[in-house]
Amino acid sequence: MNIHHGVAAWLAACEGGDVLGRGLVPTMGALHEGHGSLIRQCVAENTQSIVTIYVNPTQFENPDDLGNYPDSLQDDIHYLESLGVSDLILPQYKELYPFDFTLFVDESLDSKVLCGKNRTGHFKGVLSVVMKLINLTQARRVYFGKKDFQQYRLVSKMVEAYFMPTRIIGMDTVRDEHGLALSSRNRRLSDEQLVLARRMNVLLRDGSLSTEEIADQLNSWGFRVDYCEERWGRRFVAAFLGEVRLIDNVEMTP
Ligand code: AMP
C-alpha cells in the first residue's frame, strides 16, 4: 500500500494516473468492520482503491469531542493492508485548508434537521471536506455508510447539484451480534454503557412504539436523547450515553 503523507505527496504520486478506475473511502480512522465493508466494496470495484484518514476539525462543534476522537493509525494501516487497499492519504490541515475555513460548501434544508439541528456547522464542515477529497482524488466512485444516512443523503445531493463526475455509493450499516451499529465511538463506552447501547437499535425497530415513546424509554434508561424522528422513510435516533454520542437509523417497514 502506498502511504501519502499530505496532499502534495499524493498529488505528486498520482500525476498521470487513470482516474476512471479510482474509488475512494473517506474516513476519520479508528477503523472497524463498518469501514471494512465500504473498503472491501471499493477494492472490488476499482483498479485503484484510495482511503483517506483525516479527523476533520471543521465538522466538530465540540473541541472535547475532537480531542477525544480515537487514534489508532498503526492498527489502521495494518487493517487497510490486509484489505488490499492501494493508496492511503493522510492529509494535513494547512494543505487541505489553504485559506482556512473561509471557503466552504453549505446546504440550507436537509442539513438543518436531525444531526444539523443542534450542531449547526456540522454538515458545512462535512460537505466542504468531502468535496475537497473528491476533487483531490478525482475518484469516480465514492463509498459512504448509511449509518450516517443524513451525511450520505447530503453528499449525494452535493454531487448532483455541482455536476461532480463521480458516483456516491451507499452501503448498509454493519452491526455487532446484538444489532448495535459499529462506530469508532463505541470504544469509549464502559461495559455497562455497552449493554444499554445495544438496546437502542431494538427500540428503534419496534414498530409498535412511537418516536416519543422510544425517546422516553431511552431517557429513563439513562440516555440523553438529542432527537428521535421519522423522515425520508426512516427512523433516526441520536442519544448521549455519558459523553459518547451514538446515532442510528433504520428503514421503516410499512
Ligand atoms: P467515519 O470514520 O466515522 O467518518 O466513517 C467513515 C465512513 O464509514 C462513513 O461513510 C460512515 O458512514 C461509514 N461507517 C461508519 N460506521 C459504519 C457502519 N457501522 N456501517 C456502515 N458504514 C459505516
- Residues in the chain predicted with pLDDT less than 50, given as ranges, are none
Q: Are residues 182 and 248 in contact, defined by beta-carbon separation less than 8 angstroms?
A: no
For ligand 1, the distance from its centroid to the CA atom of residue 26, given in whole angstroms, is: 9
Rounded to whole angstroms, how far apart are CA atoms 208 and 100? 48
Quick one: pLDDT at residue 254?
73
Residue of the CA atom closest to atom 6 of ligand 1: 27
pTM, whole model, 2 decimals?
0.97
CB atoms within 10 A of CB 234: 16
Q: Which residue, 96, 122, 100, is CA-closest to 111?
A: 122
Rounded to whole angstroms, how far apart are CA atoms 219 and 213? 10
Rounded to whole angstroms, how far apart are CA atoms 115 and 113? 6
DSSP letter (8 states) at residue 253: P
Under DSSP, is residue 43 helix (H, G, I), strand (E, B) or coil? helix
Quick one: pLDDT at residue 64?
86
Q: Are residues 55 and 66 in contact, defined by beta-carbon separation less than 8 angstroms?
A: yes
Grid coordinates belonging to 136: 483531490
Rounded to whole angstroms, how far apart are CA atoms 128 and 191? 36
Residue of the CA atom closest to atom 14 of ligand 1: 145
For ligand 1, whether the C-beta of 53 sits within 6 Å is: no
Q: Which residues contact 131 (CB under 8 A, 6 or more apart)?
A: 105, 158, 162, 164
Rounded to whole angstroms, how far apart are CA atoms 163 and 179? 37
Quick one: pLDDT at residue 153?
98
Residue from 4, 35, 122, 178 carrying the catalytic annotation: 35
* 21 residue type, one letter: G
Q: Helices then strands (H, E): number in the chain? A: 9, 10
For ligand 1, whether the C-beta of 174 sits within 6 Å is: yes
pLDDT digits (tens, 9 = 90+) for 38-47: 999 999 999 9
Is 32 considered catalytic here? no
Q: Which domains does the chain have, with CATH numbers?
A: 2-171 (3.40.50.620), 184-251 (3.30.1300.10)
CA-based R_g, the chain, Å: 18
- Rounded (10°) CA dihedral 162, 164, 167, 168: -50
Quick one: pLDDT at residue 225?
98
Strand partners, 224: 240
